[in-house]
């Protein structure tokens, strides 16, 4: 396999890509006992800007607390590990940043309270995850896990099997992305994104309860909506409301702001990215590249 990058940070050391290895009996490999973040860095021509790094690190520590593991590094050490990894690879392009803490002990016990935890930071070049011109989605048969089953507020590796199954179903049926309903039949998320819909000039998104991740891009869009003259209303969203929406878009670190132009064969709006989606996407692009002074506190320059 061609390496995505030259170097990876693992347990306090910068290693060559091919030297960053773990044992096959690593607990996280068998039981999904890892927590992670997905972060983007944007090259603006002069510097590489990491978007909302502090918030991502904070969420990572919340995930660790929920899972019941201790990250063996301080927040500042994780922050520096991210910057150090980018610098070691000398990136001058948009990148994806994946810090991951995982139960590293070589054991099959299910009691993780006193097991060893490792931390890695992987960074690699990354462009568009989904088409900014609009995607086709389907509501899949798999339901999004409920917080009485698994802690959906946390980005725990094992929980993402739910997303894997959903996306594979959608792709195998010829769609670009999956939409998942919760146990109550409300549409709550994409396979790796939060969802927003526009109906009658109003912007809606599911509330943070029961089945959705507290997305940082979701939070960003809620804050930016006021700048384009909109207020986001949090409410349960039905399948019918998605089908009859004027606009639908998905948001996430990888997806950024992705218009959905068709759901289950039903055209959304005009079948093209709508005006509100486009306006928010343009503002988001300017914010992440450090062009909006109001939001420079969200930007961490690397060089």
CA-to-CA dists, residue 43 to 18, 40, 90, 96, 303, angstroms: 26, 10, 12, 11, 11
Rounded CA gap, 39 and 252, in Å?
A: 10
Rounded CA gap, 301 and 79, in Å?
A: 12
Pick the CATH number of 135-288 from 1.10.150.650, 3.40.1280.10, 3.20.10.10, 3.30.70.20: 3.20.10.10
Closest CA to 101 of 182, 188, 10, 187: 10
Dihedral angle sign, alpha carbons of residues 60, 235, 225, 180: positive
Pick the CATH number of 7-125 from 3.30.470.10, 2.60.40.10, 3.40.50.720, 3.90.650.10: 3.30.470.10
The pLDDT tens digits for 8-27 are 999 999 999 999 999 999 99
pLDDT of residue 272: 97
User: Count of H helices and E strands in the chain?
Assistant: 7, 17
The pLDDT tens digits for 140-163 are 999 999 999 999 999 999 999 999
- The string of DSSP letters for 205-231 reads E--SSSS----HHHHHHHHHHGGGT--
Out of 21, 155, 223, 272, which one is annotated catalytic?
155
Let me know: does 210 contact 187? Beta carbons within 8 Å: no
The pLDDT tens digits for 219-248 are 999 999 999 999 999 999 999 999 999 999
Domain boundaries, the chain: 7-125, 135-288
pTM of the model: 0.96
Closest CA to 193 of 209, 177, 181, 207: 177
Q: Among this protein's residues, is 128 annotated catalytic?
A: no
Rounded CA gap, 291 and 243, in Å?
A: 35
- The string of DSSP letters for 153-181 reads TS-BGGGGHHHHHHHHHHHHTT-SEEEEE
Name the stretches of the chain with pLDDT < 50.
none
pLDDT of residue 2: 66
């Amino acid at each position: 396999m061609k390496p995505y990058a030259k170097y990876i940070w693992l347990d306090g050391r910068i290693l060559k890509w091919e030297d960053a290895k773990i044992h096959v009996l690593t607990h996280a490999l068998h039981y999904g006992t890892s927590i992670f973040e997905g972060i983007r860095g944007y090259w603006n021509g002069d510097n590489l800007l990491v978007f909302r790094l502090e918030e991502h690190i904070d969420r990572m520590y919340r995930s660790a607390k929920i899972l019941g593991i201790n990250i063996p590094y301080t927040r500042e050490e994780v922050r520096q590990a991210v910057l150090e990894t980018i610098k070691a690879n000398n990136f001058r392009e948009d990148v994806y940043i994946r810090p991951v803490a995982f139960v590293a002990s070589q054991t099959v016990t299910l009691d993780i309270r006193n097991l060893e935890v490792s931390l890695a930071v992987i960074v690699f070049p990354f462009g568009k995850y989904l088409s900014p011109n609009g995607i086709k989605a389907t509501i899949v048969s798999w339901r999004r896990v409920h917080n009485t089953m698994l802690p959906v507020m946390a980005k725990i590796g094992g929980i993402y099997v739910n997303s894997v199954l959903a996306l594979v179903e959608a792709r195998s049926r010829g769609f670009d992305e999956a939409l998942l309903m919760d146990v109550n039949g409300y549409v709550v998320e994409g396979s790796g994104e939060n969802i927003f819909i526009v109906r009658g000039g109003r912007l809606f998104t599911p509330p943070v309860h029961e089945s959705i991740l507290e997305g940082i891009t979701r939070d960003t869009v809620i804050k930016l909506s006021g700048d384009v003259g909109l207020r986001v209303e949090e409410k349960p969203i039905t399948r019918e409301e998605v089908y009859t929406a004027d606009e639908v878009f998905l948001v996430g670190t990888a997806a950024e702001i992705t218009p959905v132009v068709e759901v289950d064969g039903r055209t959304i709006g005009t079948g093209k990215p709508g005006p509100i989606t486009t306006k928010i996407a343009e503002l988001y692009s300017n914010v992440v590249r450090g062009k909006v002074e109001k939001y420079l506190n969200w930007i961490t320059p690397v060089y």
